Structure 1
């Protein structure tokens, strides 16, 4: 048995959170001991496994600020994760052999003091997720970017979520040419997808022959407006009697962008005169998600250059064809013309693909069955579990510990910075 500790910045609802939870479930299914330490966990906004006690979760450092004067989100996230790492290393109640951390690598130097093996799961380089719109922003991000690259290279094992991300990793972290990231597709526990749907919820869904569905967090980078504009073109061609669009996604009232983008999408729908034909849902349950994917004619997956995208996998497993942007992870998951369609991320292309389902009643069944078969063959939970367990067990058996003086110096420097920055909040 290997004791594995998962260190995650915010254990809410999202693809990254789903990936680490499924990794923990996979390890637990093989008899390994798992637990989570996170800087934030809200029982009203989280996945069921962290709410019902299936996975042990300890929340530390949530008193630290998430932002300063409406800015410095990244710096605050780094501080919160480093604080959580300090708790992990020095708390006598936390025992582990391997640490699985993701999203923020700045905590790795601290974790190395524990002499445990460190796995870093790179969903996507953080430095590429923020635009540098000003000189001051560039100046602010420069040391954080350097820290991300340097500390990522300290992990004993680096995992990435797709071959697409592996390529981006190599192109972005120029100094880490010696690091060979391993691709571990973030496959969910399909046993959960086999559970019953929410029958009452299903009955309340619109009774249109073609129900198109978008599932994404309410963030601008998810490009949900593309689904709305493509749907408008579909309505112009086929009218409203046969079609309806549901926009469902993770929503956190604390996140300004969630609130702003949700309002922007509502305004867009109103402006296009589609209010009666578009339904918005926020932060739905797992059973409701299964209802949506089971009932939907097709999933509209609109993000460009998405790192992987777990929702298309879930949709195909539930025999819901996928229409996705032809870039990033979907190129590895969706078979164009066989399990769905890969389109240029423009409204007319998406609308053309959607129109195929309106005019061909048997298309959903045909592509849906092929999609489920593809998932079973290429993205099975069994395969995911065996690969992850092999990585964890091999690391745990390696008893070598190579902590160089420069790593210790880095840790001391990081701890000093934390103390200085946190003094105003004591």
Structure 2
């Protein structure tokens, strides 16, 4: 529902995002754009890559525009220097935003930047807009130092990241965990008294949850629907990247079958590993094969299915079919999947570190476990009981509705950008 506000209070807002695909960061951008537009603001999203066949449905003819710019610059150079290329691409996006505002003779009131802070000083130099930077996690902590030369290269980028992050008019982070990491990482900013505010992402509560429970099989391809029919389904939703620790879900399922297979519900259980898969990315292609090989090695091929990418409707169908959702990354800075699962009335089994400790209520909306197959398997065995999983699922949905609803997120974000625009 649109929130009417006078033209005087209507803001022009731009988003600067590197790649508008199907990840958690992209989900936040789409939610933020939708909510700000629903409050009567004019919203434009600028990105270096956007594929209409691999995107969230709200971006297709929705309440905000999507403009692709800077995509002519490569994502890597000989499969190297991904971070530097991302910096350049986002600088190009920022320059295009400034050029667009100049042509329109009306600057954006606020520009929302996330993931790549290199765009921030460009926007400050070329526009009069207030710049908000949303930090999902310091990029320098996500990069492995492969050699002395690479360490030197990263040292320059790390310095640039800290400097450019500090240039934003306002800083937000996605969790208390990330806030703590931010302050430990960006020590110069901490000395300057710069402390980012915690602003949790949110999820839209499914309006058709009951319908999804009934017709989920019709939303999936017949082969997958047949594989899931009549089974207790354990579901993992994550990109096919090594840091997502998908092997933990496979090994835990193997322990579940070996140790708890005498339980009727366990013996009729299956595991689905569904996730973002971008054929442009070598790691996605390689890790998909690695997970397949692990499944074969553990003798689980008849009980485990890998699903590479899916639509919003298919995601809803998989959640409707699931008994619970497994979330395996360690020290995840936030993690939108646990919220999506709980919003759909599904309990979550997650690692007891990072963002899930702030979203999953252990023993009530799911279980927080050490990142060990035996611990995950024990939690999965408890949730194989239909009554137990249904009860925890109801509590999970109520928890999200009370604390992480998109409506509350939208109201708060609208207040933040209006306050920022007035300063």
Q: Residue 185 of structure 1 aligns with which residue?
A: 200
2:316 corresponds to: 290
Equivalents in 2 of 1:186, 1:196: separation in Å? 26
Please name the residue that 1:212 is paired with: 234
5+ residue gaps, structure 1 = 399-426
| TM-fit CA distance, 1:195 | 9.2
Aligned-pair CA distance for 1:209: 3.9
Query: What is the CA-CA distance between 1:362 and the residue it aligns to?
Result: 1.1
Alignment check: 8 A CA contact 2:206 2:343 kept: no
Q: What pairs with 1:284-363 in structure 2 (closer than 5 Å)?
A: 284-358=310-384, 360-363=385-388
**Is contact 1:208–1:241 with CA below 8 Å preserved after alignment?**
no
Q: 1:149 to 1:265 in 2, by over 3 A?
A: same
**Contact 1:10 / 1:41 at 8 angstroms: preserved in 2?**
yes
Partners of 1:342 and 1:190 in 2: CA distance: 23
Provide the rounded CA distance (Å) in 2 between the counterparts of 1:183 and 1:88.
Answer: 27
Deviations 1:80-112 (A, max 9, x none): 111111111123148521000100001111101
Structure 1 stretch displaced more, 97-106 or 41-50: 41-50
Q: Check conservation: 1:193, 1:314, Cα contact below 8 A.
A: no
Q: Distance in 2 between matches of 1:372 and 1:362?
A: 16
Change (3 A) 1:364 1:194: closer
Output the CA distance in 2 between the equivalents of 1:194 and 1:277.
26
Aligned to 2:410: 385
Q: Tell me, in whole angstroms, the C-alpha distance in 2 between the residues paired with 1:152 and 1:20.
A: 18
Which of the residues 149, 158, 169 maps onto 2:162?
149
Question: Counterparts of 1:34-53 in structure 2 under 5 Å?
Answer: 34-53=43-62
> 1:21-170 alignment to 2 at 5 Å?
21-91=30-100, 92-93=103-104, 95-112=107-124, 113-170=126-183
Aligned counterpart, 2:391: 366
Q: Output the CA distance in 2 between the equivalents of 1:327 and 1:126.
A: 19
Relative to the length of structure 1, the TM-score reads 0.90
TM-superposed CA distance for 1:121, in Å, is 0.3
State whether residues 12 and 42 of structure 1, in contact with CA within 8 Å, keep that contact through their aligned partners in structure 2.
yes
Question: In the TM superposition, what is the alpha-carbon distance from 1:116 to its structure 2 partner?
Answer: 0.3
Q: Against the structure 1 CA distance between its residues 393 and 196, is the aligned structure 2 distance closer, same or farther, given a 3 Å change threshold?
A: farther
CA pair 16-348 structure 1, distance change in 2 beyond 3 A: same
CA contact (8 A) 1:196 1:287 kept: no
Normalising by structure 2, we get a TM-score of: 0.91
Counterpart among 24, 33, 47 of residue 15 in structure 1: 24
Distance 2:194 2:207 in 1: 34
- Cα contact 1:108–1:155 (8 A) shared by 2: yes
The whole-number CA distance in structure 1 between the counterparts of 2:284 and 2:208 is: 26
Deviation at 1:53, TM superposition (A): 3.9
Aligned to 1:263: 289
For 1:298 and 1:9, the matched residues in 2 are separated by 32
Q: What CA distance in whole angstroms lies between the structure 1 residues aligned with 2:280 and 2:207?
A: 28
Residue number in structure 2 paired with 1:233: 255
CA distance in 2, matches of 1:205, 1:186: 33
Q: State the alpha-carbon separation in 2 of the partners of residues 45 and 384 from structure 1.
A: 25
Asked if structure 1 preserves the Cα contact closer than 8 Å seen for 2:349 and 2:379, the reply is yes
Deviation at 1:172, TM superposition (A): 0.5
Relative to structure 1, is the Cα distance of residues 10 and 193 closer, same or farther in structure 2, using a 3 angstrom cutoff? farther
Q: Which residue of 1 aligns with 2:219?
A: 201
Q: CA RMSD in A?
A: 1.6
The residue matched to 2:267 in structure 1 has which SS? coil
Deviation at 1:314, TM superposition (A): 1.1
Cα offset for 1:24? 0.7
8 A Cα contact 1:302 1:345, kept in partner = yes
User: What do the CA deviations read for 1:324-352 (whole angstroms, capped 9, x no partner)?
Assistant: 00000010010111111000001110011
Q: In the TM superposition, what is the alpha-carbon distance from 1:205 to its structure 2 partner? A: 4.9
